[in-house]
Amino acid sequence: MFGFGKKEDDPKKAIEKADKTLNSGLTGMFTKAFVGQDNMNKINASLDMAKNYTDTSNLSQTGMGATAEVLSIADTGALINFNPVVKMRLNVTPMYGPAFQVDAETAVSKIAIPRVGDKINIKYNPANTSQVLVI
């Protein structure tokens, strides 16, 4: 009736709606008052992470395939579906064009965490090589 319980099918729109709801208007004011600034910062960091993953999600269909060597890997302390989120420095060898290095932050399986020197498969946006999806 008033839009309550209405599901949003597009994840990007759902995240934008949540961000707007939590950070503006009367609801935003009450949220900040009840949860405190430290927790609001954590909530906003989680929303930013979700926005980042929805931006790269279409790379699985439209991205160019390549192999990458893991140059460095560090745990961020975050979890997605109980899998660790890691920050990796990758040396990417595309099928076409010169090799390049890129930093990628992604969730990995806790039973198959890449190590330095491992070769992994990725997809990347040729127009913006900073957008990488580990597959």
pLDDT 10s digits, 42-78? 888 888 777 766 665 678 888 899 999 999 999 999 8
How is residue 46 annotated by DSSP? H
Q: Do 117 and 70 meet the contact criterion of CB atoms below 8 Å apart?
A: yes
Residue 1 has pLDDT above 90, yes or no: no
pLDDT 10s digits, 102-118? 999 888 888 989 999 99
Q: Which two tokens stand for residue 88?
A: 């990796």
What's the pTM? 0.63
For 77-98, what is the mean pLDDT? 91
